[in-house]
């Protein structure tokens, strides 16, 4: 049995309104599924996508399927999620993401070289 890694974070939900809204977000990683990261959003919306997408998105803009990730300055990251019913854009401070990624690296088995995980929403 593996130990799930969880990191609570707050993200700014970017809207067309004057101020972004802070929302709680839970990042999860299971070493039994070493290529995937889960992001739980308010309303129990769960997005799963390749851990490599989050790692690379800390340094350079990347996208796969319905998920886009890119650095925003030196201290923030943007996560853009596309669904049938619209697009959600979240801005994270890097500190909780860096902590989360460090913990996943410490817990991860040797990373397989297989194709990256596809993005899914549940």
Q: How far is CA 77 from CA 1, 27, 32, 108, 113, in A?
A: 32, 14, 26, 23, 26
Beta-carbon contacts of residue 11 (< 8 Å; ≥ 6 apart): 22, 23, 25, 79, 90, 91, 92
pLDDT tens per residue across span 28-82:
999 999 999 999 999 899 999 999 999 999 999 999 999 999 999 999 999 999 9
Q: What's the pTM?
A: 0.84
Token pair listed for 114: 């297989």
The CA-based angle 86-24-104, given to 5 degrees, is: 100
């Amino acid at each position: 049995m593996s130990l799930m890694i969880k990191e609570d974070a707050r993200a700014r939900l970017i809207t067309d309104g004057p101020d972004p809204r802070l929302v709680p977000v839970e990042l999860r990683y299971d070493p039994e599924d070493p290529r995937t990261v889960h992001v739980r959003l308010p309303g129990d919306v769960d997005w799963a996508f390749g851990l490599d997408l989050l790692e690379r998105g800390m340094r350079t803009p990347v996208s796969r399927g319905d998920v886009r990730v890119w650095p925003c300055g030196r201290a923030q990251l943007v996560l853009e999620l596309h669904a049938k019913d619209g697009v959600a854009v979240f801005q994270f401070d890097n500190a909780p993401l860096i902590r989360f990624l460090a913990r996943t690296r410490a817990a991860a088995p040797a990373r397989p070289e297989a194709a990256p995980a596809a993005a899914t929403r549940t």
